[in-house]
Structure formats: structure tokens, C-alpha cells
Structure 1
Amino acid sequence: MNKSLKWVVAIMIGGGVVALLVWASIAGRQEAATEAKRERPIESPSRVSVQNGEATIQMDPANQSRNGIAVSPLQLTSRRQEYRANAVVLAVQELIDLRNNYVPARSQLEKAQASLDVSRRAYERVKALYEDEQNASAKAVQAAEGTMRSDEVTLKAAQDSYHLAEDNVRQRWGSVITSWLLKGSPEFEGLVRQENFLIQVTLPGSDIPAPQNASIETASGRILSAKLVGPLPRLDPRIQAPVFVYVTPRNPDVIPGMSLVALLPAGASARGLVIPRLAVVWWQGKAWAYVQVASDKFARREVLTEMPVGDGWFVTRSFPAEQKVVVTGAQQLLSEEFRSQIQVGGEETK
């Protein structure tokens, strides 16, 4: 092989090596790009938008079914306006102590009355015998009269103690509860056994009458019914307002000494809707509900909570009648809404 041929062969071999290196480099880059693409998380387009100032989430019927989304139409109803008033659960230990003082006073009164009845009849009998040809001595008449007079004094003292105990109860608790205590009525026994509880309600003003029926809102948001017992002969020292007492059945959310809110109906009735408690989700300290604005779209709308009712909240605006709200799966929609927002935020930072 001559020298020129050797150079040609060397050049060809060198070119092949270079081509092989270039191909390997390109193949490596393509493989790295493919691997990076494979490892990149799958990103779904955001299903959340803002329409008419409301966050709206889009979800097709199949996803609605998988997430357990269920809706229900809202129905118009009427409800009287309500005042909110301070309320506190009263302890009945004071009533029990007052009854423990009253019972002995009543027993002493009955005993004194019985003794006087006996001594009066004895005196009258001895006196009649004395006047009937002195069949009894004057000394016996005097002794019988002395016993009777002593029993009269004892009865007067027992009556004073009895009335003092009764007045003490009435001055603290009013005439209705005093009557319960004095008679040992079923209402009083229900309080002692904690089947019912007394709620002290301070009216917002002296010009507001106490309604016969009220609602009590507990710390957990539960609404309880309460019936008026009567006025308490005292004023709330904080606001110098009249105080009334209501009775409500036993409930785990009602504990003596606990502060509550009383909802007192007053004024004219208003037309509105009840947003079910199951439809409400909480975010940033506010209540929200999802309304179905299309077959595959749900808008998050604020729920005003000034007028709670037994199974939700009464509202007079923002929710048209017959509009459907999500009653099952609202929390899933809220989670999906913010999950989509997080994905959008992540894309914007890339």
C-alpha cells in the first residue's frame, strides 16, 4: 500500500470516529430530554375561572359522580326578623339550696298549726266543762289556755319563717319559678334532674318585648328551641337591661355558666331562603356555598350568617329561589378549586 492510500484510509477512519462521537452525543441529549419529559408531572388545565366576580369551577358530570356531588333546589320561605341577645345558662344549685331552706320552714309551719289545733280544741273542751257547773277546775282552764297561747306564738314564728323563705325565692327567681319550687312541680323536678335548663336572656332594650318562643344558638352553631318562663326580678348590671328566663331541653352544648346567643323574633316577616348547613363550607372565617350555574359549573358564593335557623342559615339575598346548591360534596369542590389555583401558580413561576 503506497503512502497516499494510507492517508486516505486514516482520514476515513478519523471521520468515522468523529461521526460516531457526534451521533452518541445527539442520542444522549435526546434520551435525557425524553427522560426529563417523562419525569415531569402531568399538568391538567385549570378548571377554575372568575365569572361575574365569583370563583367558578368546571366539573363534568362523570367527575361530579365520582366526587359525590349532589345538588338541591332552594325553596322560598318566610321568617320573622330576629334580635340577637346575650344569654347564659343558669345553675340551679341556688334553687336547690333555697328549697332545702324552704322545706324545713314549711314543716315547722305545719307542725305548729297542728299543735295549735290540738291545744285550741283542748282549751275549748276544758272551758266548756268549767262553764257547765264547773266540771273542770279554773286551774285546768288556765293551763289549757296557756298551752294554746304558746302554740299561737309558735305558729306566728313558723309563719314568719315560711314567708321569709318564700319571699327570698321570689325576690331571686320571680313568681313562676317560685311557684314551681313551692309546689315541687314536675317543672322544678326536671330542672333538678337536669332534664331541662334555665337560660337567662338579657333583652337588647327595654322597649323590646320578650317573645314566648326563642331560639338559642350554642357555641357549636347548633340552634335550640326555648320557651319563656317569665321575667327575673333583676337587671343585667352591664347594660342595665331587663332580664328574662327561658327553659330549654337538655343538650350536650348546654352547660351551666356557658355564654350563648338568644335569637328573639320581632318585627315583620321577611321572604327568603334557608341555606342548608350541609351546603356550607368555611374559608377565611366566612361561610360559602356552591351554586350550580350550569350543568358542569359551580360558583362559590358567600352565605350571610346573621340569621341562623335550626338546619342552616336564613338569607334574603344573593341566592335566587329554585337555584340549586351543592348539599353533598361542597368540601371536595373547595379542595379542587384551590388545587387548581396551586397548579396555575406553579406554572406562572416557571
Structure 2
Amino acid sequence: QHNISQAALQSAQLTLAVAEADRATAAAQLRQLRTKLLADWGLKLSAAALSGSTPLPRLEKGAEALVEVSLPLGQGLADPPAEASATTPDDELVQLRFVSRAPRAAAGVAGESFFYLMASRASAPIGTPLSVTLTASTGKSGVLVPRSAVVWHQGEPFAFRE
């Protein structure tokens, strides 16, 4: 049997309560940071940042750079190209590899944005504006027929066009 004073017990309980409050505060801050990470960088880059997976190690080493490509307002791409090219201010051509869609528009740009990776270049330090060329995939030709305009005959769909 251990004997402790009432004051020592209350002091220990207070210390425990403070530690639990600190832990709850830290957990709330961590949730807030994860939410901000996801909102700023999207699912793929957030997951890489939290796990240390690709492309994070190459970005940390400076072997690659992250490029945010923004389209003009009103333009969009259903399927951004897996590869693109960029020209640095000194006319060096560099290849870009698609990472993910950006969850938000770039600062000062209202159009859709994407994240691409490029090999680091002395001619393109962080913050350097690049001229990027994206090649849209070829579309499919055809017409969209509303379901209400389809006529069925002997189990086959038909649509008439004037």
C-alpha cells in the first residue's frame, strides 16, 4: 500500500489534465495541417508528403522541380496530357511529366491548373516563369443523343437526324 498526500494526488491529476489538453490541441493542429495540405496540393501530392513516397524524395534532393501549369480562364482539359514540354527564359526545351490536377487555381490565374514534374535546370530556378505547351488528346467525333430521343424497335436503338 502506498500513501500519498491529497495535494500530491491533485497535482498529478492536474498534470495529467494539462497533458491531455496539450495532446488534444496537437491532434487538432495536425488535422488542420492535413486539411490545408490536401486543399493546397491535392490527394496525390499530400499522400506523398505524408508518406515520403514518390515524387517527394527527388523534390527534396533538388533532382526534380514541381511545375504548376495554369490554363487561361474558360479553357479546360478533360484529360491532361501525361507529358508536356516547357521552354525556359533562355529557350531551353524541357520535358514535363504529369502528376495531378491542382485542387485550386494558381495565384492570380482563374483557369484550371495542373502539377507537372521536370528535371531541375540551372536555367529554371524555382519561381521562373515557363512557357508550357500542352497537347490535348484527340477528341471523338459524334453526336450526343438524349435518352428521350431514342426509338427502340425489335430491341435495337434508333435515332433519327435531320
TM-score bracket, shorter-length normalisation: 0.5 to 0.7
CA offsets 1:93-115 (integer angstroms, 9 cap, x no match): xxxxxxxxxxxxxxxxxxxxxxx
Structure 1 residue ranges without an equivalent (≥5):
1-134, 270-350
CA offsets 1:200-240 (integer angstroms, 9 cap, x no match): 10124443232222222233433322112222232245551
| Residue 153 (str. 1) matches residue 26 (str. 2) | no
1:194 to 45, 56, 62: 62
- How do residues 44-63 of structure 1 correspond to structure 2 at under 5 angstroms? none
Offset, 1:255 = 1.7
Q: 1:267 to 1:179 in 2, by over 3 A?
A: closer
Taking structure 2 as the reference length, what is the TM-score of the superposition? Answer: 0.64
Q: Name the residue aligned to 1:316.
A: none
Q: Name the residue aligned to 2:93.
A: 223
CA distance in 1 between partners of 2:135 and 2:75 (Å) = 15
* Higher RCO (C-alpha under 8 Å, 6+ residues apart): 1
Q: 1:187 to 1:202 in 2, by over 3 A?
A: same
Structure richer in strand, relative to its length: 1
| Residue 250 (str. 1) matches residue 102 (str. 2) | no
Offset, 1:157 = 1.2
SS in 2 for 1:178: helix
- How do residues 162-311 of structure 1 correspond to structure 2 at under 5 angstroms? 162-185=30-53, 187-204=55-72, 205-209=74-78, 210-236=80-106, 238-268=108-138
CA offsets 1:60-103 (integer angstroms, 9 cap, x no match): xxxxxxxxxxxxxxxxxxxxxxxxxxxxxxxxxxxxxxxxxxxx
When Rg is computed on C-alpha atoms for both structures, the one with the higher figure is 1
SS in 2 for 1:266: coil
CA distance in 1 between partners of 2:107 and 2:20 (Å) = 44
Contact in 1 for aligned 2:81/2:137 (Cα 8 Å): no
SS in 2 for 1:265: coil
Question: Identical aligned pairs, as a percentage?
Answer: 20
Structure richer in helix, relative to its length: 1
CA offsets 1:289-309 (integer angstroms, 9 cap, x no match): xxxxxxxxxxxxxxxxxxxxx
SS in 2 for 1:259: coil
- Residue type of the alignment partner of 2:129: S
CA distance in 2 between partners of 1:171 and 1:264 (Å) = 24
SS in 1 for 2:89: coil
Offset, 1:136 = 6.0
Offset, 1:187 = 2.6
Contact in 1 for aligned 2:68/2:106 (Cα 8 Å): no
Offset, 1:155 = 1.4
Taking structure 1 as the reference length, what is the TM-score of the superposition? Answer: 0.33
Contact in 1 for aligned 2:69/2:115 (Cα 8 Å): yes
SS in 2 for 1:227: strand
- Give the aligned CA root-mean-square deviation in angstroms: 3.1
